[in-house]
Amino acid sequence: MNNYLITTVVFVLVFCVGNCHAQAMEGTKPNVLFIAMDDLNDWIGCMGGHPQTITPNLDRLAQSGVLFTNAHCAAPACNPSRISIFSGIAPNVSGVYANDQVLREVLPDVELLPKTFSKNGYNSTGSGKMLHYIIDAQSWDDYFPKPSSEMPIPETLYPDKRPLSLPRAGPWQYVETDWGALDASDEEFGGDYKVSQWVSEQLAKKHDKPFFLACGIYRPHEPWFVPAKYFEPFPLESIQIPPGYREDDLADLPPEGKRHGPNRYFDHIRKHGEWKHAIQSYLASIHFADAMLGRVLDALDNSEYADNTIVVLWSDHGWHLGEKEHWQKYTAWRACTRIPLMIRVPKNCPGLPEGTKPGICDQPVNLVSLAPTLFDLCGLTANKVHDGPSLTPLLKDAEGNWPHVSVTYLHHPGDYGLSDDRFRYIHYANGDEELYDVEADRYEWTNLAGDPQYADKLAELRAKGPTRFADKPEPSIQSLNKLKWVRLGEDKAPPSRPDGSQFPVFFINETEEPVKLYWIDRQGQPKFYEEIQPTKTARQATRPGAVWQITDLQDKPLGYFKVDDRSAQAIIPAK
């Protein structure tokens, strides 16, 4: 055989081997099933948050992968938490700290997790709430409901008459703070059932390339209405109050901590005797969400993708049900920041060929690490630097060296909570501090910040805290909710009943004439504030329940707006 022929044969062999190897690598790209649950704290069986919870499907997923018992959200509110997950950018870097900020206003060019997967040969699809009441259609290949709707939650059954259980105390109260059992089947309820059905159908399909499949389960987000069968295991007379509740728990908090603690919801709920009913409804909502998860896990187990799909389950933040005299979220205590996080990795993934062994990891981790972790596991190169470390080292060795802390950012820049492997440190922008030994004090009942024995630990954690806090861009006027315009004829505008915190409302004059803005006082009398010229906008500080009347220049009433529970735009329509 001459040298030319030998060279040709060697070239062909090398080419074929290389091509076969590339095809094999392409074939081993793992799929990703990315599951979110909304407002779920540690009230699941494997985390022991409440003794009465029923979560067999969450527990079986935890038992098959790695359960992170010291995982925290990047922010204790849906919008900043979810944006940090999908962008990999922490709130103190992005400037997204609150629910009223708009993703594409603050981060117009950011590439989100599903888009990066699409660019790397994946089909990125999803259903249910993944971002904060938007889909961000540009980031997905497909979505249910349809991406152009930009509403990620399918139609859901609610009672005909609302509120059902908890009277609304005033416009300050979130309208969805309500609960109760529904006489309906899962199918009739819709919502999360439709999400689980659509996701299950995707898992049953034949896919010609790897997929990134997102499943957003909305419960246990308020309102806590689910089919009655999920209430049955929790008889009202047997309901136990949260184990983390203690009546005098605010006594050792600094002033800023006390300000974050008690809120009007908890007092209002107890006043109407609804505390145990609310706990029952939260447990029932978790039970329902767990059942919907079970449908998806069963679909995966019965599919051809069972052995080559990474499964990640997370909650965007926790929830208070009376701990620290607080209801809802928005705090830096563990009841609100600590969340379920489970990751199961099959064998032969590029970033973890051996896959995960079932186990528990107690190291402090954060949801901002999910994007770099997935890119690492799937062998993808991210196009940017992320703010969280990949969790792959802990998936290899849950007890390995981990020099990181986990930080949760509150609504205002400078306020944050920080966890290491044993302690919880809370820092407020005004300098107030809290310190808890969560190994000895799981529910953070004893603030150690003023104890000289812990001065060194306090200084150590203080030094590990963030020092950079991006400014917080305000949302555009156009992105705000619109107040209802009520035209006036012979009737008079009702008196104001202001009740709640102050915020701005923007009055936009779309008429061709100047108009006058009046506040209607508690006695129903108008008080003049200013003239608003055509096409101009007036910013006015106000409170929930305030009534603002619009007149022409001759003081003839044209209509009024009644302020709801948040900042809004009030459009004065052309005649």
Give pLDDT tens digits for 291-323.
Answer: 999 999 999 999 999 999 999 999 999 999 999
Q: Strands 547-551 and 537-542, how do they pair?
A: unpaired
Report d(CA 263, CA 155) in Å as an integer.
Answer: 31
If you search the block for the tokens 């950079």, which residue do you land on?
A: 468
DSSP H stretches of helix in 392-440:
392-396
293 vs 381: which has the higher pLDDT: 293
Span 430-440, mean pLDDT? 98
The DSSP element (H or E) to which 426 belongs, if any, is strand 423-427
Span 204-219, mean pLDDT? 98
pTM of the model: 0.93
Average pLDDT, the chain: 94
pLDDT in tens, 480-495: 999 999 999 888 999 9
Residue 275 phi/psi, 5° resolution?
A: -60, -55
Structural domains of the chain in order of their starting residue, each with its CATH number: 29-409 (3.40.720.10), 480-572 (2.60.40.780)
pLDDT in tens, 382-400: 767 789 999 999 999 999 9
pLDDT in tens, 525-575: 999 999 999 999 999 999 999 999 999 999 999 999 999 999 999 999 997
CB atoms within 10 A of CB 249: 22
Q: Does position 22 have pLDDT exceeding 60, yes or no?
A: no
Report d(CA 453, CA 311) in Å as an integer.
Answer: 43
Q: What percent of the chain has pLDDT over 70?
A: 95
**pLDDT tier at 473, thresholds 50, 70, 90:** very high
Q: Does position 39 have pLDDT exceeding 90, yes or no?
A: yes
Tell me whether residue 132 is one of the annotated catalytic residues: yes
Q: Does position 25 have pLDDT exceeding 70, yes or no?
A: no
Q: Does position 223 have pLDDT exceeding 60, yes or no?
A: yes
Q: Does position 1 have pLDDT exceeding 90, yes or no?
A: no
**First vs last C-alpha separation in the chain:** 94
Point out the catalytic residue in the list 78, 349, 361, 378: 78
Point out the catalytic residue in the list 132, 221, 317, 320: 132
Span 475-482, mean pLDDT? 96
Tell me whether residue 349 is one of the annotated catalytic residues: no
- Predicted confidence at residue 147, as pLDDT, reads 94
Residue 354 in tokens: 């051996």
Cis peptide before 114 (omega within 30 of 0): no
> Which residue from 439, 441, 433 is spatially nearest to 461, judged by alpha carbons?
433
pLDDT in tens, 44-71: 999 999 999 999 999 999 999 999 999 9
- Predicted confidence at residue 383, as pLDDT, reads 65
CB atoms within 10 A of CB 88: 28
Q: What percent of the chain has pLDDT over 90?
A: 93
Encoded amino acid at 330, one letter: Y
pLDDT in tens, 122-162: 999 999 999 999 999 999 999 999 999 999 999 999 999 99
Report d(CA 74, CA 86) in Å as an integer.
Answer: 12
- Predicted confidence at residue 348, as pLDDT, reads 97
